[in-house]
Amino acid sequence: MLNLTKLKYFYNPLTLIVSCLLSFSAQAHFQMLYTPDLLHAKSGAITFKMPFTHPAASGHVMVVEKPEAFYMVKKSKKTDLLHSITEIEWESAVDKGTAYQADVKLRGLGDYVFIAQPSPYFEPEEDLYIQQITKTIVNVGNLPTDWNHDLGLTAEIVPLTKPYAIYEGGIFSAVIKSKGEPVPFAAVEVEFMNYVPDMQKNQFAKEPIMTPPADVFVTQTIYADANGTFHFSLLKAGHWGFAALGVGEQKTYQGKELSQDAVIWVEATKLP
């Protein structure tokens, strides 16, 4: 995590240029809301895995309480899915930890916007709580419906690009918002899911997809512009996570600082 106090008034005017990336050597925290494919030809059952971990490096798995909320929005209708969550153990290259999964049925064409609101996690090394309100959008039948809707969340990344229809090398654009209002100059951590999740074994793959040239490439850091908008080139096919840090309206929890982050997962597809 970055020091949000120091970043509050920082702005680099070149943030709209993808090549203007500030690299950050420490691994970023990421709440996963992972299912292998975000684009489906037809409806059916899918499974989500929800560890709170460091997906780019198969790092430490943080032990968290059961999510406070889990639901989906389809054609503006909200459906509570908290009952579908079960506890699992997730294994990384470093350790094992409590995580969660959900089995969900998709019925009909369109976009399914899934939102997981985890319980706040206390990070002792930073003496603060972290709560990452996480969004993953799954499409059925190539019929776009809800992917760019603003849900009015306290911390939210609203896509300007279909998150399930991006070619490898394409640009993902989005607006960072809190309760429908853009958050200017927000810091955004970006990670590539470099270790493919094994859905049967509840663990990351043993080998990475690629080897970063240096540790500072593991987590990229960019900044939104004055309108809360950011752009990033997805240079590798696979899943990418974006975490806008500390953008939520709630700033404290149980007497400690709370970083209420907005997270979204998107998928880049290899060119035919």
At 138-184, the pLDDT tens digits run: 999 999 999 999 999 999 999 999 999 999 999 999 999 999 999 99
Nearest residue to 133 via CA among 247, 55, 28: 247
What contacts 37, CB < 8 A, 6 or more positions away?
138, 267
What contacts 190, CB < 8 A, 6 or more positions away?
219, 220, 221, 222, 232, 240, 241, 242, 243
User: What percentage of residues in the chain have a pLDDT greater than 90?
Assistant: 89
At 96-119, the pLDDT tens digits run: 999 999 999 999 999 999 999 999
**CA distance linking residue 89 with residue 207, whole number of Å:** 20
- Tell me which residue range forms the domain holding 217: 4-269
pLDDT for 28 equals 86
At 234-271, the pLDDT tens digits run: 999 999 999 999 999 999 999 999 999 999 999 999 99
* Token pair 């300007």: residue: 160
At 4-45, the pLDDT tens digits run: 433 333 333 333 333 333 333 356 899 999 999 999 999 999
**CA distance linking residue 194 with residue 208, whole number of Å:** 5
- Total tally of structural domains belonging to the chain: 1
pLDDT for 14 equals 34
Instruction: Enter the pTM of the model.
Output: 0.90
- Report, as an integer, the average pLDDT of 77-106: 97
Element (H, E) at 68: none
